[in-house]
């Protein structure tokens, strides 16, 4: 979600002691924000403390989300319907690879869809 510098300044960083705009922080809780007036820097507003955390490089973002992300149980994830036409829509301009990944926790079917940016 895009956010202006002025609104982003109302959300304290993880090291700030300021409280900022509580209503804004609550509304954006759990979201990833893109700082549109700069270079598209990404921030995550952690619901646990309503502060923003810089996502930085992909490896930094993955580490942060692994530590702070809320997660979802397999039962709850299973209740989200899978689109019946997503792969059909993506086929004309995409490469689709399907495979099974077996881990200690079970076997998971995975569809990797690579979209052609020039079309989408």
| Each residue's pLDDT tens digit, 6-40 | 999 999 998 998 889 999 999 999 999 999 888 88
Q: How confident is the model at residue 119 (pLDDT cuts 50, 70, 90)?
A: low
CB 116 within 8 A of CB 93: yes
Assigned token pair, 22? 């509580």
The predicted model scores a pTM of 0.60
pLDDT at position 8? 95
pLDDT of residue 22: 94
DSSP strands (E only) in the chain: 2-3, 32-35, 41-46, 51-54, 94-103, 106-115
Read off the pLDDT of residues 90-117 as tens digits, 9 standing for 90 and up. Answer: 556 567 778 888 888 888 888 777 766 6
pLDDT of the residue at 74: 79
pLDDT band at 84 (very low <50, low <70, confident <90, very high): low
Give per-residue burial for 74-98: e unless 16+ CB within 10 Å, then b: eeeeeeeeeeeeeeeebeeeeeeee
Extents of the domains making up the chain: 2-71, 77-115
């Amino acid at each position: 979600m895009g956010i202006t510098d002025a609104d982003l300044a109302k959300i304290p960083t993880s090291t700030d002691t300021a409280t900022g705009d509580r209503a804004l922080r609550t509304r954006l809780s759990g979201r990833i924000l893109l700082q549109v007036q700069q270079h598209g820097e990404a921030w995550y507003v952690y619901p646990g403390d309503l502060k923003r955390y810089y996502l930085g490089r992909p490896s930094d973002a993955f580490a942060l989300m692994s530590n702070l992300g809320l997660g979802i149980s397999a039962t709850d994830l299973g209740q989200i319907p899978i689109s019946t036409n997503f792969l059909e829509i993506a086929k004309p301009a995409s490469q689709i690879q399907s495979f099974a990944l077996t881990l200690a926790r079970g076997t998971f079917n995975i569809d990797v869809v690579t979209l052609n940016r020039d079309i989408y």
